[in-house]
Homo-oligomer: A and B are copies of this chain.
Amino acid sequence: MSTSGFHTRLKTDADVDIRATYMELQQLEGIATAVRRDILRMVAAVNSGHPGGSLGCTDFMVALYFDIMRRKLDGDGKPVFDMNGHDEDLFFLSNGHISPVFYSVLARAGYFPISELATFRKLDSRLQGHPATAEHIPGVRIASGSLGQGLSVACGAAYAKKLNGDDKHVYVLMGDGEQQEGQIWEAAQFAPNKKLGNLTAIIDLNHAQIDGTTQNVNDNRDLAAKYRAFGWFVDEMEGNDISDVIRTLRKSQEDPDVPTMILMHTEMGFGVEYMVGNYKWHGTAPNADQLQQALNGLPLSIGVTDY
């Protein structure tokens, strides 16, 4: 198993000086903008898919893949994908409907050609509506789409890492509506009981789901109190602020045997003015005019191109 070429990551108990990545931050923001453009163009192209949650989670996903995760890279800095992911950090997307942001970030991190984003949700594509392993797309380790399953899978992967003496970390992203699924709470009990300190779960706390605000549909109440009662270390962060995401994720948890749950405050549709905070954009694609309007508000940085 090659251990060469890791994207390095600072991990310390001390508060991290985020200014050290100041230059990088601008780059990360440039990537995030490109990802947002990808998302919008992908869903508009097939008039289907889920822009709202994808846009809201863009900054997090960019920070995770381009700063936080210790991923296996080859000599040229290109990611190397193998299913087992021994000795590298792993990420699982439980709320599989926000596949656009996942695919875009994977492509821009080099897992597959950026041009392939144009095949999203089309027949014979490796970029299924919801992430799938059946098409062997690099970067995806489990299918998701039916909600509530990802935290369990991440628990299993984290458990395997402990058995294997692998000191790397497992991340999993979930929706806040998704918290209503019972299976989540089975996993919520499992992780602290099995001392999965190598697991960090993130909830996209955008207060929106399909039929309305989470509060109106099925109030989640105080998720922090819930997870604390289940035995997790609970933290919060501003999900649409890359530097806060990086600062929060770099902090080590207090107890190495305790898994971490991060409530990530985001806005559904962040980055597109007419979408922000509106649950109606959970699963609706913009039409041509709306797309243009959205892209106008998201200018590309120099050196970054669309797919």
Contacts and interface: CB of A to CB of B under 8 A. Distances in A.
A219 B226 CA distance: 15
B180 A189 contact: yes
Given A181-B182, A181-B186, A229 B225 contact: yes
Residue with the greatest number of chain B CB neighbours at <10 A, chosen from A184, A220, A221, A229: A229
Contacts of A225: 225, 228-229
Interface in A141-179: 148
Nearest to A188: B185
A218 interface: yes
A307 interface: no
Interface string A194-235: 000000000000000000000000111110011011110000
Q: Which size class do A's interface residues fall under?
A: 20 to 34
A193 B189 CA distance: 22
B182 A186 contact: yes
A182 B186 CA distance: 5
Nearest to A227: B229
Nearest to A225: B229
Nearest to A231: B221
A228 B228 CA distance: 12
Nearest to A224: B229
A190 interface: yes
A228 to B, nearest CB: 8
A148 to B, nearest CB: 8
B221 A226 contact: no
A219 B188 CA distance: 11
A235 to B, nearest CB: 17
A290 interface: no
Contacts of A222: 229
A119 interface: no
Nearest to A179: B189
A230 B225 CA distance: 9
Nearest to A185: B185
Contacts of A183: 182
Contacts of A189: 180, 218-221
A165 to B, nearest CB: 25
Given A185-B185, A189-B221, 16 more contacts: A148-B182, A180-B186, A180-B189, A182-B182, A182-B183, A182-B186, A184-B185, A189-B218, A192-B221, A193-B218, A193-B219, A221-B231, A222-B229, A225-B228, A226-B226, A226-B230
Interface of A: 148, 180-186, 189-190, 192-193, 218-222, 225-226, 228-231
21 contacts: A148-B182, A180-B186, A180-B189, A181-B182, A181-B186, A182-B183, A182-B184, A185-B185, A189-B219, A189-B220, A190-B218, A193-B219, A221-B229, A221-B230, A221-B231, A222-B229, A225-B228, A225-B229, A226-B226, A228-B229, A229-B229
The 3 closest A-B pairs by CB, nearest first: A182-B182, A185-B185, A225-B229
